[in-house]
């Protein structure tokens, strides 16, 4: 009677080789442990390849272990393993998700906690990472990540580059948590998004409207000029004056929230962050006469892009001014600072978080104070 072959038990966490039943060309399966069932406690295993002999399967486990521990580089492993190494890598990569697959998983939860405009910004930044979309997550190197970012540096603003890096960080973090890659394979913290002076000059920069330009807008008197002035004197983001209901607009309303009765005018709007949503934006006396007309006109536009292409850009061309829509918000911030508007009030109006935790959490907004502070701005 032929003696049955016996094999020594392999050390823990180094995988196992089993012989499959039936008449197979490659009956030996090399398997590795990927985790443990939370209920039964049993090992969860997946095969890394199928082989003609047990020795080939054991060799495959050894090569796989060295690759995981980075004991040898991939080139050396490929030379040592030959076809065995290629078979391991093919099997290992077969069921791994791509960068795009993981982004889709990450955004399910991420988009629940951000505004629509932030969602759009992330999706736009993701499109710029298209060189990574179809790559398996375990094949993406730091060179791939940095090269993709570098190619965008001359074309976009710093904020877009930061969004691109944020997406990479979240995708790789998700991959580590779900054990698609090891923690050592997450290189995202080394991505450099800093632009050179030349790259920064090529990307769009915001320029504030000058006092002379603001006066020319008042002199023009067109509905288009009034729209731009409304943005300049409220500091609103492009989407924050669109589709406001009549209940959000308050003109000459009696208020005494600081103990003194006075007539004030303001709107309630906001977006993007907790500090920005549903905030009081006082109406400056200079735009009070036409703010209702302006907001009514803006209600006919679906999104900020249509306002830019149909209103802002044609007006800038007509007035021979060189500005972007967001320049109005930068102008408001500059005017408020130059005219010594209280910093806390300025941040509340613009929807920014206060630097001081006490101010941010415990200081309540006083509408009268905001209204009085905004009137400090002179042109």
Q: What is the 3-state secondary structure (H, E, C) of 60-97?
A: HHHHHHHHHCCCCCHHHHHHHHCHHHHHHHHHHHHCCC
Distance CA 240, CA 326 (A): 12
Distance CA 299, CA 291 (A): 12
Chain-centre distance of CA 26, in angstroms? Answer: 47
Distance CA 99, CA 80 (A): 30
* Tens place of pLDDT per residue across the chain (379 aa): 555 555 555 666 667 888 888 888 888 888 887 777 777 777 787 787 788 888 888 887 877 776 665 544 555 555 545 555 555 555 556 668 899 999 999 988 888 887 888 888 999 999 999 999 999 998 899 999 998 998 888 888 889 999 999 999 999 999 999 888 888 889 899 999 988 765 555 445 668 899 999 999 999 999 999 999 999 999 998 888 998 888 899 999 999 887 889 999 999 987 654 444 678 999 999 999 999 999 999 999 888 889 999 999 999 999 999 999 989 999 999 999 989 999 889 988 988 765 554 444 344 568 999 999 999 999 8
Both tokens of residue 181? 């890659």
Q: Which residues contact 325 (CB under 8 A, 6 or more apart)?
A: 231, 238, 304, 307, 308, 312
Q: Which CATH number is associated with domain 211-374?
A: 1.10.443.10
Q: Are 118 and 162 in contact (CB under 8 A)?
A: no
33 beta partners:
45
Q: Is 25 exposed, middle or buried (0-12, 13-18, 19+ CB in 10 A)?
A: exposed
3-state secondary structure of 295: helix
Task: Determine which helix (DSSP H) or strand (DSSP E) holds 297, and give its type and residue range.
Answer: helix 291-298
Comparing CA positions, the residue from 218, 224, 232, 204 lying closest to residue 329 is: 232
Place of tokens 């306002």: 307
269 beta partners:
279
Q: What is the pLDDT of residue 363?
A: 46
Both tokens of residue 157? 């603003």
Q: What is the pLDDT of residue 66?
A: 67
Tell me the longest C-alpha to C-alpha distance in the chain: 109
Q: What is the pLDDT of residue 46?
A: 77
Residues in the chain: 379
Domain with CATH 1.10.150 in the chain: 99-202
The CATH number of domain 99-202, selected from 2.30.30, 2.60.40, 1.20.140, 1.10.150? 1.10.150
Q: What is the pLDDT of residue 52?
A: 83
Q: Angle at the Cα of 20 (from 18 to 24), degrees rounded to 5?
A: 130
Domain with CATH 1.10.443.10 in the chain: 211-374
Chain-centre distance of CA 140, in angstroms? Answer: 20
Does the pTM surpass 0.85? The reply is: no
Q: What is the pLDDT of residue 2?
A: 54
CA atoms within 13 A on the CB side of 142: 10
| Distance between start and end Cα atoms, the chain | 106
């Amino acid at each position: 009677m032929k003696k049955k072959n016996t094999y020594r038990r392999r050390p823990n966490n180094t995988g196992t080789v089993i012989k499959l039943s039936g008449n197979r060309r490659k009956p030996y399966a090399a398997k590795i442990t990927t985790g443990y069932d939370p209920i039964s406690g049993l090992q969860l295993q997946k095969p890394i390849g199928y082989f003609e002999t047990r020795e080939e399967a054991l060799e495959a486990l050894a090569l796989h272990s060295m690759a995981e521990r980075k004991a040898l580089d991939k080139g050396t492993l490929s030379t040592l393993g030959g076809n065995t190494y290629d078979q391991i890598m093919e099997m290992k990569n077969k069921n791994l998700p791509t960068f795009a697959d993981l982004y889709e998983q990450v955004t399910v939860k991420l988009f629940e906690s951000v505004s629509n405009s932030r969602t759009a910004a992330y999706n736009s930044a993701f499109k710029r990472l298209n060189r990574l979309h179809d790559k398996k997550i375990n094949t993406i190197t730091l060179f791939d990540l940095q090269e993709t970012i570098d190619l965008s540096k001359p074309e976009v603003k710093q904020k877009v580059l930061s969004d691109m890096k944020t997406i990479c960080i979240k995708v790789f973090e998700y991959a580590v948590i779900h054990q698609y890659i090891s923690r050592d394979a997450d290189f995202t913290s080394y991505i450099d998004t800093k632009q050179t002076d030349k790259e920064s000059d090529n990307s769009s920069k915001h320029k504030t409207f000058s006092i002379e330009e603001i006066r020319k807008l008042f002199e023009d008197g067109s509905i288009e000029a009034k729209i731009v002035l409304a943005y300049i004197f409220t500091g609103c983001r492009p989407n924050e004056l669109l589709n406001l209901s009549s209940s959000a607009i308050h003109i000459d309303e009696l208020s005494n929230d600081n103990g003194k009765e006075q007539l004030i005018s303001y709107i309630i709007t906001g977006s993007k962050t907790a500090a920005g949503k549903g905030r009081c934006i006082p109406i400056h006396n200079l735009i009070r006469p036409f703010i209702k007309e302006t907001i009514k006109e803006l209600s006919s536009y679906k999104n900020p892009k249509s306002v830019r292409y149909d209103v802002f850009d044609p007006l800038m061309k007509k007035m021979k001014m060189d500005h972007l829509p967001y320049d109005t918000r930068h102008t408001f911030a500059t005017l408020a600072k130059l005219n010594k508007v209280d910093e806390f009030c300025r941040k509340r109006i613009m929807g920014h978080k206060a630097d001081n935790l006490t101010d941010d959490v415990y200081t309540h907004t006083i509408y009268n104070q905001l209204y009085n502070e905004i009137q400090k701005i002179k042109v």
